[in-house]
A and B are shown apart, each in its own frame.
Chain A
Amino acid sequence: DTEVTQTPKHLVMGMTNKKSLKCEQHMGHRAMYWYKQKAKKPPELMFVYSYEKLSINESVPSRFSPECPNSSLLNLHLHALQPEDSALYLCASSQDPGGGNIQYFGAGTRLSVL
């Protein structure tokens, strides 16, 4: 089983709203990732959590706030987003954070910011 579950599948929010994206995996993976993908572009890494600690922040604006409550769960808290933040947000997990471990992706959350 290589399933990564993301909720919600679709989200529409205004620029003053606060919302959260959720990602869950039960494969015992110790690394979890958030990617942002704009239309017709490749995924761009946002954050990496390694053993529940933030390992990489790719200079993401503070209106995006990641959280890893436990090894199976990863959240992305959204606040005061801009219309240009509309994108597909993908979560991934891997057994370990290095060594060429395979990253398994969820189906993503399609976010629209009005």
Chain B
Amino acid sequence: AQKVTQAQTEISVVEKEDVTLDCVYETRDTTYYLFWYKQPPSGELVFLIRRNSFDEQNEISGRYSWNFQKSTSSFNFTITASQVVDSAVYFCALSEPTQGGSEKLVFGKGTKLTVNP
């Protein structure tokens, strides 16, 4: 079965620091998809990125960057020059196919990031 591990339960940084959130996954599938979501205190899960197993290119979007390494089964997320608005719980997730063709997301336990002014 799929598994996602986010070993960091909580991280606290000061504004403008860089911070990396770790995500390690386990799967026997050769084709799979990884996701990162942000959940601010308001509760809505906000989609950040999707990466498929065949695309190991790193991605940068503004202050956000993602490092996908199949060799270590990791999909880490870095925020550069963090801001108070980045404070949220961040979830890494892995797609898991089910009978009938639907997929479910297997979430890690989440990392709570607090950015202090």
A in complex with B = yes
Chain A residues near B35: list those with CB within 8 A.
102
Q: A100-B50, A100-B52 are in contact. Are A45 and B104 (CB under 8 A)?
A: yes
Q: Considering the chains assembled together, what is the distance between the CA atoms of A56 and B104 in angstroms?
A: 9
The total of chain A residues at the interface (CB under 8 A) is: 26
Partner of B43, one of A31, A88, A92, A101: A88
Q: Considering the chains assembled together, what is the distance between the CA atoms of A56 and B96 in angstroms?
A: 12
Chain A residues near B103: list those with CB within 8 A.
97-101
Partner of B105, one of A50, A55, A99, A103: A103
Q: How large is the interface on B (under 10, 10 to 19, 20 to 34, 35 or more residues)?
A: 20 to 34
Chain B residues near A64: list those with CB within 8 A.
none
Q: Considering the chains assembled together, what is the distance between the CA atoms of A50 and B100 in angstroms?
A: 9
Tell me whether B91 is interfacial, beta carbon within 8 Å.
Answer: yes
Task: Name A6's closest neighbour in chain B (CB-CB).
Answer: B44
Contacts A/B (CB < 8 Å), 11 sampled:
A42-B109, A42-B110, A48-B102, A50-B101, A50-B102, A56-B104, A92-B45, A97-B102, A100-B33, A106-B44, A107-B44
Q: Which residues in A have some Cβ–Cβ distance to B below 8 Å? A: 2, 31, 41-43, 45, 48, 50, 55-56, 88, 90, 92, 97-108, 110
Q: Which residues in B have some Cβ–Cβ distance to A below 8 Å? A: 32-33, 35, 37, 42-47, 50, 52, 91, 95, 97-98, 100-105, 107-110
